[in-house]
Amino acid sequence: MVEFDADLDVRGLNCPLPILKTKKQLVTMGAGEVLRVRATDPHSVIDFQAFCDKTGHELLRRWQEGEEFHFLLRRIA
């Protein structure tokens, strides 16, 4: 089982909503905490990588289960 501090379900939402909701959730978290995001938008794979590259948050892991995409992000400062 993967450890995370918060879980965000953005399944059924399309760009840009998954990123916007992720950004809003990360603001409420402390530095070093891990957020799991579950999405169904196929573009989220590219979007989350770009988001982390731009913001400095760390994309720890991503994987796919059926039509769902899972992301683990570590909040940086």
The residues carrying an active-site annotation are 15
41 secondary structure, DSSP code: -
Q: How far apart are CA 44 and CA 55, in angstroms?
A: 16
Q: How far apart are CA 28 and CA 50, in angstroms?
A: 21
Amino acid at 36: R
